[in-house]
Structure 1
Amino acid sequence: MAVTQTPSAAHDGSRIRRRELAAFLRSRRERIAPERVGLPRGRRRRTPGLRREEVAQLASVGVTWYTWLEQARDIHVSAGVVDAIARALLLDSNERGHLFTLAGVADPAPDTSCSGVPDTVLAMLRQLEPMPACVQNARYDIRAYNRTYGALLCDLDEVRPEDRNCMVMAFTNPGWEAGLVDREETRRLMVANYRAAMAEHVAEPAWKHTVKRLQRESPEFRELWERHEVVQTLASKVKRFRNPHVGLLNLCPARLWLAPQVGARLVAYAPADEESRERLEKLLAIVSERA
């Protein structure tokens, strides 16, 4: 027999979650020394860690609104604001996930480390070297990559996990942009493909977060997005990349779907000519020496 949750039980659950959220925010706030976030300690500081108004300032939210959160009041919390608070409180990936769960909203920029990628797939990425290869989802979030992919267009290890998105970097990362030889066409097709794929995810915060971020940060993206162009898949023709270490690379992309086509895929780039093959081997040697 199915069990139906009564309105009072649902209300109690929401109240408990708000209390847990308030306690969690206080505990994370009180552990951060002001110096860690560039704030002076001062002589009259009685609060351990940061003050509420300092967290609000760092997250660019209202002091009253943030105070209400720590008082467990019943207020609406948007994904964007929770994201800002998570950054202000220097939360790690586990703490960030816990915060979004307590807030009852989906994380618009989930952890993009290798977590969730099976060990067998990670082994495949390593075995494909020197061919650059990565695992990405339909939103272009890079979930895992091998060494040559990590050095293909920029030093991907130096990019924040939440920024490791091919489309985001194509519009906002100078090194990634410079490495796209056919930049205008590549970006146009990526935006059109993203719009087509988003049709099945229009209500999901993570998809909308990427669009809003790029509309805010890139006039070029805004112009392309307003065209409303759609393509179902990206062309598999030879792609040209200009690597800062070995020069021009002519590569043929191949995609292996690890889930239905709205899910994860393994993308590998095979050399289109002998010169590109030799340069990929040279690139692997360079990144191997760094390890």
Structure 2
Amino acid sequence: MTESSRRSSRSELAEFLRSRRARVRPEDVGLSGGSRRRTPGLRREEVARLAEVGISWYTWLEQGRDIQVSEPFLERLARALRLNPAERAHLFELAQGRPPPRLAITPASVSPALQRVLDVHPFPGLVTTPRWDVVAWNPPAVILYGDYALRPPAQRNILWSAFTSPRTRLRTEPWESHARGLVARFRLDAGRAADRTEFDALVAELSEVSPEFRRFWSEHDVLETAEGVKSITHPEVGVIEFEHVTLTHSEPDGRLLRITLYGPRPGVSTTRARKLFGAVTR
């Protein structure tokens, strides 16, 4: 980033903070509004107190001075100013020149619109959280992986299934290389999380029940890929090669989710997939 760009970002950040501060009513954050306030919103010292930072430091930031700020401070500031997910991301972009850490929020469901889009996809589709918890699926996914609704919520997880489900292991070829790739991608996602607590808990549980996971995890490999090819063996039709892509989706409430869509490769895989999923697709 050039010096001119940095100055522009600092100026924009200063104006953004002032506008967000003016928008928050004292009553919204547990403070007394009083009758002697000459301007709307919070005072600088109130924002500083809520964000647990010195008044001078916050004032410099709001004045557009060239100071370095940490991720924990920006997270506290976002909460103090009651920023929505888009505003939080904008704050990080202006202050640090990069997106904020990804939040690992596990939703109970997805929006009706997303579920409808998923349901009309003729082949398997899954919606997962950044921690790979499965929160939505379509009928073809049930045929391929089983009904996630019948599993305990804590076990509706891609990584957990890969290492603890005999059905998943039997149907995935070659299982070991696929499992190694999953572990490497999961490690990368864990490193990006704003809070690793849920990720580390899953790692600890899998390390207890799966020696293979424990061994793969200790290798510290990382991998990033949003698409690939996966071979699944189904007892009714045989091997189907699926191409898959993963798309990032923000729900209306700001939760970050991933949509993974599968499509059979042309030829015999397409023929077998149409036979397998024909009864549940429209």
TM range (shorter): 0.5 to 0.7
- The reply on whether 1:213 has 2:205 as its aligned counterpart is yes
The separation in 2 between residues aligned to 1:177 and 1:205, in whole angstroms, is 27
Residue 221 of structure 2 aligns with which residue?
229
Q: When the two structures are aligned, how many residues end up with a matched partner?
A: 180
Whether 1:118 and 2:118 are equivalent positions in the alignment is no
The aligned counterpart of 2:46 is none
So what's the TM-score if we normalise by structure 2? 0.57
* 1:248 aligns to 2:239 (yes or no): yes
Q: What amino acid sits opposite 1:211 in the alignment? A: V
SS at match of 2:220: coil
Large movers: runs of 4+ above 3 Å: 1-5, 108-111, 153-158, 285-288
Match of 2:245, SS? strand
Q: CA deviation at 1:109?
A: 11
Displacement of 1:185 after TM fit?
Answer: 1.1
Does structure 2 conserve the Cα–Cα contact (< 8 Å) formed by 1:246 and 1:279? Answer: yes
1:179 paired with 2:171, answer yes
State the secondary structure of the residue aligned to 2:228.
coil
Query: Whole-Å Cα distance in 2 between the matches of residues 208 and 201 of structure 1?
Result: 11
- Helix, strand or coil at the partner of 2:198: helix
Q: Distance in 2 between matches of 1:157 and 1:176?
A: 16
What is the percent sequence identity of the aligned residues? 26
Q: CA deviation at 1:209?
A: 1.4
Q: State the AA in 2 paired with 1:239.
A: K
* Residues 83-108 of structure 1 deviation map (CA, whole Å, 9 limit, x = unaligned): xxxxxxxxxxxxxxxxxxxxxxxxx9
How far apart in 2 are the matches of 1:247 and 1:154? 17
RMSD in angstroms over aligned alpha carbons?
2.7
User: How far did 1:284 drift?
Assistant: 2.1
CA contact 1:196–1:231 (8 Å) conserved in 2: yes
Q: Secondary structure at the match of 1:242?
A: strand
Q: Does the CA-based 8 Å contact 2:169-2:175 persist in structure 1?
A: yes
Is the CA contact (8 Å cut-off) linking 1:154 and 1:176 kept in structure 2?
Answer: no
Q: Tell me which of 169, 178, 192 is aligned to 2:184.
A: 192
Q: TM-score, normalized by length of structure 1? A: 0.56
How far the C-alpha of 1:276 sits from its partner, in A, is: 1.7
Q: CA deviation at 1:203?
A: 4.0
Instruction: Indicate the structure (1 or 2) with the bigger Cα radius of gyration.
Output: 2
Which segment drifts farther, 118-127 or 153-162?
153-162
